[in-house]
Amino acid sequence: MSWETEIQLLRAELDELRKKAEASEAYVAISNLQRAYGYYVDKFQWDHVADLFSRDAVLEINGRGKFFGQDRVREYMHHFGPPEDGILMHHIQVQPVIHIDEDGLTAKGRSRAMMQVGRMGGEALWGDAVYENAYLKEDGVWKISHLKAYQTYYIPYESGWAKEAMPLASTFEDFAPDELTDPYPVYPTFFIPPYHYPNPVSGRK
């Protein structure tokens, strides 16, 4: 093997290693981004939440409708108001499955939120949602470009999921979306939110 060929092979190997390293860094950054979202929502830090989204982001939570652009995301979040004593709003982020696109600038991720929502002396709910999100590296920073949360269930704490389930959360009466969300079934109806990825072993979708 000539030294010219060897240099070409080493360069190709270096490029491949650099690509893998950048993908690994992106995976960590996106994981942290999604977890930060959960922590900020927990504590009603709505401007911190909105800052995690790209300029042209789309927000779509349960059946509330679609909201386009970071400014509308910020409006949506502030619609929930300021924090108050006695309010619990945990959104625990778990089970991330993240795939970085070939361009290294976009990605998709599936994860889950386990929720405890309620008010002292009022209602108390268990909740669960599956995210199928898109991410974008904008201005050198990973941001959420499309947050799509599929409601799995909301159930009253007192009765539990074996006895009662709430319907898909729909649009707010006092805050209209930019576009409606197509409805989908929620617990107790069996429904699988679409995967953005094929089976990692069989390749089947």
Residue 189 lies in a domain: no
As for how many domains the chain has, the answer is: 1
Residue 116 lies in a domain: yes
Residue 173 lies in a domain: no
Burial code (b: 16+ CB inside 10 Å, e: under 16) for 150-166 equals bbbbbbbeeeeeeeebe
Residue 201 structure tokens: 């072993």
What CATH number is associated with residue 140?
3.10.450.50
Q: What are the tens digits of pLDDT across the range 112-142?
A: 999 999 999 999 999 999 999 999 999 999 9
* Sequence-ordered list of residues with C-beta below 8 angstroms from that of 200, at least 6 positions apart, any chain: none
Confidence band (pLDDT; 50, 70, 90) for 5?
confident
Confidence band (pLDDT; 50, 70, 90) for 202?
very high
Mean pLDDT of the chain: 95
Residue 165 lies in a domain: no
Residue with tokens 């290294």: 104
**What does R_g of the chain's alpha carbons equal in angstroms?**
20
Q: What are the tens digits of pLDDT across the range 49-91?
A: 999 999 999 999 999 999 999 999 999 999 999 999 999 999 9
Question: In terms of pTM, does the model score above 0.85?
Answer: yes
Residue 201 lies in a domain: no
Domain interval for residue 140: 3-156
Q: Are 27 and 65 in contact (CB under 8 A)?
A: no
How far apart (Å, rounded) are the C-alpha atoms in residues 78 and 148? 18
Residue 45 structure tokens: 């830090």
